[in-house]
Amino acid sequence: MAYNLLKGKRGIIFGALDENSIAWKTALSVHAEGGTFVLTNAPIALRMGQLKELGEQTGSEIIPADATSEEDLKNLVTKSMEILGGKIDFVLHSIGMSVNVRKGRSYMDENYDFTAKGWDISALSFHKVMQTLYKNDAMSEWGSIVALTYMAAQRSFPDYNDMADNKAYLESVARSFGYFFGKDKKVRVNTISQSPTATTAGQGIKGFNGFINFADQMAPLGNATAQDCADYTITLFSDLTRKVTMQNLFHDGGFSNTGVSREVMDKFE
């Protein structure tokens, strides 16, 4: 059901890879709500994924950009404003990658070059995106910037590895940059702390099935799906949430506030 919440709004969506990804579902939902946008991902992801298909479905242009490159980001922001015909109203940062996880390195045996690369892609890129938007005065007043995170930023999950540190940094950047973006440009910045979600990236985490099933048994409403997350993101892009900023918003069916559930207790009794 569409409400035309984003009619006339323009944006940039980072990180759609395939139909399982939250960014992909968000793009479809934004399109259904009347928003227009540019799609972007790293050149390697464009070769691996099916972004062209999403561009065709939503009538969106695709601009390749490495989110860790200031030069690429400046080009992306400038071209997006040209293509869309004005300033940007919404941005989704849906980017994360741990080289240590990919290479099977444990948290107690990090390769720090891998750590630095993963941190740059997963967390510092969010600062780079916002700094580029800020310096180029590219955001409309009351615009909205959202990044996706996970509760491993606050709690320990053994196999989430250095991504937990990356997410903690990402959330801190949202608060710190959110202050200045709000003060100077009336732009809001938030993170959504999503349930474990069966995306292509999420499934790369060791023990993921146990992880997702446990969360589902713990959460009173069950896990939030990728589509649920897309719908929540729409509300944050809309004018209905103008005074929500610098928040880390848990979108997890109540998992984050549940001590233990009956289902989990039943397994131990």
What residues are designated binding site?
15, 21-22, 95, 167
pLDDT tens figures, 157-175: 988 999 999 999 999 999 9
pLDDT tens figures, 183-236: 999 999 999 999 999 877 766 667 778 889 999 999 999 999 999 999 999 999
Distances (CA, A) of 34 to 9, 31, 59, 77, 231: 8, 5, 12, 21, 14
Model's pTM, two decimal places? 0.97
Whether 232 is catalytic: no
Q: What is the rounded average pLDDT of the residues 100-127?
A: 97
pLDDT score at 199: 79
Query: Please, are residues 106 and 130 in contact by the beta-carbon 8 Å criterion?
Result: no
pLDDT score at 209: 86
pLDDT at residue 115 tops 90? yes
Using a pLDDT cut of 90, give the percent of the chain over it: 91
Angle in degrees, 0-180, between the axes of helices 163-185 and 125-135, rounded to the nearest 10 = 20
Domains of the chain: 10-268 (3.40.50.720)
Nearest-angstrom CA–CA distance, 200 and 222? 20
Residue of 150, 169, 179, 232 marked catalytic: 150
Whether 169 is catalytic: no
CB atoms < 10 A from the CB of 108, how many? 6
Residue of 107, 160, 169, 179 marked catalytic: 160
In what side-by-side order are the strands of the sheet with 139-149?
Answer: 36-40, 10-14, 88-93, 139-149, 188-194, 248-251
- Concatenating the DSSP letter of every residue in the chain gives ----TTTT-EEEEE---STTSHHHHHHHHHHHTT-EEEEE--HHHHHHS-HHHHHHHHT--B----TT-HHHHHHHHHHHHHHHTS-EEEEEE-----HHHHTT--GGG--HHHHHHHHIIIIIHHHHHHHHHHHTT-EEEEEEEEEEE-GGGTS--TTSTTHHHHHHHHHHHHHHHHHHHHHHH--EEEEEEEPP---TTGGGSTTHHHHHHHHHHHSTT-PPPHHHHHHHHHHHHSGGGTT--S-EEEESTTGGG-S--HHHHHHH-
What residues are designated binding site for NAD(+)?
15, 21-22, 95, 167
pLDDT at residue 180 tops 90? yes
